[in-house]
Chains A and B, each alone.
Chain A
Amino acid sequence: MSPLELIRDHTIQNVVIGAALLGLISGVLGSFAVLRKQSLLGDTMSHAALPGVCIGFLLAGAREMGFLLLGALATGALAALVMLMLTRNSRLKTDAALGIALSTFFALGVVLLTYIQNQNNAAQGGLDAFLFGQAAATLRGDLWIMGGVTLVALALVTAFWKEFKLVSFDPQFAASLGMPVMWLEVLLTVMIALAVVVGLQMVGVVLMAAMIIAPAVAARQWSHRLESMVLLAAVIGVAGGLFGALLSALSRGLATGPLIILSVSSVVLVSLLLAPGRGFVWEGIRLWQGRRRLRHQQVLTTLYRLALHHDDPAYRSEQGMLDTYHGHHTRKALRQLLQRGLVEWRSAPPEEPRGAKHWVLTPRGRDEAERILDSLGRGDD
Chain B
Amino acid sequence: MLAALFDNAALMIILVGALVGIASTLVGTFLVLRGVSMLSDAIGHSIVFGIVIVWLITHQQSGPVQIIGAALTGLLTVFLTELLVSTRRVKKDAAIGLVFPVLFSAGVLLINLYARDVHIDTHTVLLGEIGFVWLDTLTLGDYRVPQALVWMGAMTLINGAFVTLFYKELKIATFDEALAKALGMAPGLLFYVLLLLTSGTAVAAFDAVGAVLFVAFVIVPPATGYLLTDRLWMMFIHGSLVSIASSISGYWLAVFWNVSIGGMMAVMTGVFLLLAFLLGPRYGMVAQVLRRRGQRRVNEIRTLAVHLYNHEDGPEQWAENVTRALRDHLLWDNAKANRVVARSREQGLVECRGQSLVLTEAGRDMAREILEPTRNGTGSLTTTAT
Contacts and interface: CB of A to CB of B under 8 A. Distances in A.
A92 B36 contact: no
A111 B101 contact: no
Contact of B283 (A39, A91, A99, A111): A91
Nearest to B260: A114
A232 B227 CA distance: 44
Q: Per DSSP, are chain A's interface residues mostly helix, strand or loop, or mixed?
A: helix
B75 interface: no
Given A39-B93, A104-B273, A115-B258, A262 B113 contact: no
Q: Among A37, A92, A95, A254, which residue has the most Cβ atoms of chain B within 10 A?
A: A95
Interface string A27-39: 0000000100111
Interface centre among B35, B36, B112, B288, by most A CB within 10 Å? B112
A92 B122 contact: no
19 contacts: A90-B285, A92-B226, A92-B227, A99-B223, A100-B220, A103-B220, A104-B216, A106-B215, A107-B216, A111-B254, A112-B259, A114-B260, A132-B108, A132-B122, A254-B112, A255-B112, A257-B105, A262-B105, A265-B105
B175 to A, nearest CB: 14
A140 interface: no
A95 to B, nearest CB: 4
A337 interface: no
A351 to B, nearest CB: 56
Given A98-B38, A107-B266, A254 B219 contact: no
Given A104-B273, A115-B258, A110 B127 contact: yes
Contacts of A259: 105, 109
A214 interface: yes
Interface stretch (B57-65, B84-92, B232-240, B339-347): B84-92
Given A40-B93, A95-B36, A278-B89, A118 B259 contact: yes
Given A103-B216, A104-B273, A262 B91 contact: no
B106 interface: yes
Contacts of B198: none
Contact of B101 (A95, A216, A254, A261): A261
A99 to B, nearest CB: 4
Contact of A262 (B106, B266, B288): B106
A102 interface: yes
Which 5 pairs of residues, A with B, have the shortest CB-CB distance? A104-B270, A107-B266, A110-B263, A258-B105, A210-B101
B104 to A, nearest CB: 7
Contacts of B257: 111, 115
Interface string B280-308: 00010100100000000000000000000
B123 A254 contact: no
Contacts of A100: 216, 219-220, 223, 270, 273
A47 B40 CA distance: 15
A6 interface: no
Specify which of A89, A114, A257 lies most central, judged by the most chain B CB atoms within 10 Å of its CB: A114
Interface residues of B, number: 59
A213 B94 contact: yes
Nearest to B209: A107
B102 to A, nearest CB: 5
Given A100-B219, A107-B216, A206-B126, A93 B106 contact: no
A25 interface: no
Interface string A161-193: 000000000000000000000000000000000
Contacts of A109: 263
Contacts of A227: none
Given A206-B212, A207-B104, 7 more contacts: A37-B91, A40-B41, A103-B270, A106-B213, A210-B105, A221-B89, A258-B109
Interface in B11-43: 32, 35-38, 40-41
B263 A96 contact: no
B115 interface: yes
A262 B109 contact: yes
Contacts of A110: 126-127, 213, 260, 262-263, 266
A272 interface: yes
A296 B112 CA distance: 56
B213 A103 contact: yes
B204 interface: no
B132 to A, nearest CB: 14
A176 to B, nearest CB: 25
Contact of B90 (A38, A104, A217): A217
Q: How large is the interface on A (under 10, 10 to 19, 20 to 34, 35 or more residues)?
A: 35 or more
B369 to A, nearest CB: 32
Interface in A32-78: 34, 37-40, 42-43, 47
Nearest to A261: B105
Interface string B177-195: 0000000000000000000
B223 A96 contact: yes
B122 A255 contact: yes
A207 B259 CA distance: 24
B97 A40 contact: yes
Interface in B109-142: 109, 112-113, 115, 122-123, 126-127
Contacts of B104: 206-207, 258
Nearest to B230: A91
Q: Give the residue among A96, A213, A259 with the most B Cβ atoms within 10 A.
A: A96
Contacts of A89: 277, 285, 288
Contacts of B40: 99
Contact of B41 (A102, A132, A214): A102
Contacts of B102: 210, 261-262, 265
A315 interface: no
B340 to A, nearest CB: 28
Which of A39, A253, A272 neighbours the largest number of chain B CB atoms within 10 Å of its CB? A39
Nearest to A263: B105
B210 to A, nearest CB: 9
Contacts of A272: 87, 89-90
Interface string B236-276: 00000000000000000010011110111111011001000
Contacts of A212: 97
Contacts of B76: none
Nearest to B36: A95
Given A96-B32, A128-B123, A131-B122, A268 B98 contact: yes
Contacts of B152: none
Contacts of B205: none
Contacts of B259: 111-112, 114-115, 118
